[in-house]
Chains A and B, each alone.
Chain A
Amino acid sequence: MTLVASSFLGGAKSRLLPASIPFRFFGAAVLFHVAFWVLLFFGAEDLSRFVGGQGPVLGAIHSLTLGVFAMAAMGAAFQLLPVATKAPLMAVWPARLASWLAIPGTALLVTGMTTSLHELQALGGLLAIGGLVIFVMLVADNLRRTSGMVLVTSNAWVAVLSLVAILGLGFLLIVDQEHGLLPDHGRVAIAHMVLATYGFMGMLAIGFSYILVPMFALSPAPSAAMGKSSLALSVIALVLTVGGVLSSSAALIVVGTIVGLVGVVLHLRLMVETLDRRMRKQLGPSFVLVRLAWVFLPLSFVLGSAMTGDLVSRAPALFGFAALVGWLLTFVVAMLQRIVPFLASMHAAKTGRAPPLVSALTPEAPLKVHFWCHLAALALIGFGIALDLSMVIKIGVAIGCVGALAFVAFFAMVMVRLARQRSAASP
Chain B
Amino acid sequence: MTDPIDIARDMLKQVIDPEAGLNIVDLGLIYDIRRKGDALEIDMTFTTEACPVGPSLLAEVQEVLKDVQGIARVDVDVVFDPPWSPERISPEGRALLDG
Within 8 A of A (CB), among B10-29: 14-16, 18-21
Contact B77 A211 (CB under 8 A): no
Contact A8 B58 (CB under 8 A): yes
Give A345's nearest chain B residue, CB to CB.
B18
Interface residues on chain A, size class: 35 or more
Q: 1/0 per residue A84-120: CB within 8 Å of B?
A: 1000000000000000000000000000000000000
Give B55's nearest chain A residue, CB to CB.
A12
Give A7's nearest chain B residue, CB to CB.
B78
Contact B86 A218 (CB under 8 A): yes
Choose among A3, A7, A79 the residue with the greatest number of B CB atoms under 10 Å from its CB.
A3
Contact A345 B19 (CB under 8 A): yes
A121, B39: Cα distance in complex, Å = 65
Contact A149 B86 (CB under 8 A): no
B37–chain A nearest beta-carbon distance, Å? 13
Contact A12 B97 (CB under 8 A): no
- On A, residues with C-beta under 8 Å from B are 1-9, 12-13, 15-16, 79-80, 83-84, 148-149, 152, 211, 214-216, 218-221, 277-281, 342-343, 345-346, 349, 351-359
B88–chain A nearest beta-carbon distance, Å? 10
**CB within 8 A of B53: which of A6, A149, A277, A355?**
A355
For the A-B complex, the count of residue pairs with Cβ-Cβ distances under 8 Å equals 124
Give 6 nearest A-B pairs by CB, closest first. Answer: A12-B55, A84-B50, A352-B63, A8-B78, A279-B86, A5-B76
Give B67's nearest chain A residue, CB to CB.
A1
B-side contacts of A2, CB under 8 Å: 72-74
Chain B: interface residue total (CB-CB under 8 A): 41
A9, B15: Cα distance in complex, Å = 17
Contact B72 A1 (CB under 8 A): yes
Q: Could you list 10 further interchain pairs (A-B, Cβ under 8 angstroms) beyond the known A1-B74, A221-B48?
A: A5-B61, A6-B77, A9-B55, A219-B86, A278-B86, A281-B98, A345-B19, A351-B59, A354-B14, A354-B16
A79, B50: Cα distance in complex, Å = 11
Contact A152 B50 (CB under 8 A): yes
Give A280's nearest chain B residue, CB to CB.
B97
Contact B18 A149 (CB under 8 A): no
